């Protein structure tokens, strides 16, 4: 039996496929980011959010995901149920740019990143995401866009969720 053909889902194809904006949300007890061995940002209880931007993303997509992120019910209530949002627990957010969320490994062993937005667009959408989080009233710290960063975290649970527009 021949293998099923996998459709080409690269941006700009003729099928009209649009890749969603992605954020990988991790519930943390604490998280920090350093650049060249120097601390840049840190948070206590809250979320570490890795942000991936693709070609079709814009400020509207960023605002939609920011609203979803702060309302995502991933914290335990008094009964031990995962039922509370970041806002409800007064948590913090550490946002880190992560173009590798768009790695395509369908062919070979070297990931392709052609679905990731160019840096100029990626940085603008990343900044819009951060601004939208702040507009929601949550404390936000950030990494350095485009820098080689070291991210440390204590994942709580672990709870890790991929959100897409």
Tens digit of each residue's pLDDT (9 = 90 or more) over 57-113: 999 999 999 999 999 999 999 999 999 999 999 999 999 999 999 999 999 999 999
Report CA-CA distances (Å) from 162 to 25, 38, 114: 6, 29, 20
Q: Is the pTM value of this prediction over 0.85?
A: yes
SS3 45: coil
Backbone angles phi, psi at 88, to 5 degrees: -65, -30
What is the pLDDT, as a whole number, of residue 102? 94
Q: Return the CATH number of 22-155, one of 3.50.80.10, 3.30.2320.80, 3.40.720.10, 3.40.50.620.
A: 3.50.80.10
**Catalytic site positions:** 98-100
Say what the pLDDT of residue 19 is: 74
Task: Report the distance separating Cα 164 and Cα 31, nearest Å.
Answer: 22
């Amino acid at each position: 039996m021949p293998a099923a053909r996998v459709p080409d889902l690269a941006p700009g194809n003729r099928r009209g496929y649009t890749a969603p904006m992605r954020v990988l949300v991790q519930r943390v007890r604490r998280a920090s980011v350093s650049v060249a061995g120097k601390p840049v940002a840190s948070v206590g209880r809250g979320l570490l959010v890795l942000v991936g931007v693709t070609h079709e993303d814009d400020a509207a997509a960023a605002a939609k995901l920011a609203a979803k992120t702060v309302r995502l019910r991933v914290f335990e209530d008094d009964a031990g149920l995962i039922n509370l949002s970041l806002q409800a627990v007064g948590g913090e957010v550490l946002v880190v740019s992560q173009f590798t969320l768009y790695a395509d490994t369908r062919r070979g062993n070297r990931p392709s990143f052609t679905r990731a937005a160019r840096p100029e667009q990626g940085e603008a959408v990343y900044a819009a995401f951060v601004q939208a989080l702040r507009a929601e009233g949550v404390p936000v710290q950030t990494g350095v866009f485009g820098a080689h960063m070291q991210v440390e975290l204590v994942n709580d649970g672990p709870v890790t969720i991929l959100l897409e527009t």
